[in-house]
Structure 1
């Protein structure tokens, strides 16, 4: 597993995780509430500026994480052009890219432990009703950790296929990708079981 935190330290690294997550929620609501094209374009350019301020390395590192969205953007734009609603398609694409880029910016400048501390604080009241808070925290942490790992493995499978065939990989890598994901899940479950699992947290 790898960390999502950027190797380039910025001022935002020292900001409270709760404040950054709250700001992300507020900005996301505003993005989805305003359908204006120029507003969405200005918001997207503002995010690009935020990525560029810490330097070229930070900008390249951040854009590399957003790049996997390009197939969704292409399909979205082609569909809206086909339905003669290209302006709406551009708005949706810009909104999606901006929201994901902002979320990525938060993860790049916030440690996983800091984010889990916020999740733990939010879930603490539910522990009184018998909710296994530790299980939810662990699930959230694993999703955040494993998403880029699975993305990299999917890219490696596609590259391996491309090196052996002129045909596009397409659906052919789905089965081996699922096998890799299940194999990783098996290893993680064994590691958790060897450490006592999460049942012990229900008694604490």
Structure 2
């Protein structure tokens, strides 16, 4: 008597063997089953582990083992690693640059209309509060630039190891801040 086990997920061998034993116990057959063949589907990360068995009487036995999931997940309590924070900041800076680009183009176009509008534009831009806004935009641009380059290297499988990903994230953050400070000193 043979038991055909089809495993439709990927898991550790020890966990699979206990699930197989549990499902065989639920089978109403007389026992003495062999599990062959064990077929694994590569590249699939299961949320549920489902084992299906067809015993020699043609009965179908299933065993489902569910992974415990957190309930009411509070996103503000999750501690992201630095690469995750840099990735989120990359997206936010890209969205802000996209939304502010029409305004910047309009201001640039208005400054080129005549010498009088250029003088007005220059008077507004030299205000300290406006300089801070421009520094924030510059930081967003520099951060988006360096994080985008980092993502391009990650797409080429360069720097995907954990320590290298952390190091490049810190470099992206530091480069954006340092170059923004250099520009800030030049503006003031």
Taking structure 1 as the reference length, what is the TM-score of the superposition?
0.29
Q: What TM-score do the two structures reach when normalised by structure 2?
A: 0.31
Q: Which has the higher contact order (CA 8 A, sep 6+)?
A: 1
- Larger strand fraction of residues: 2
Q: From the two aligned structures, give the one with the greater helix fraction.
A: 1
Structure label with greater radius of gyration: 2
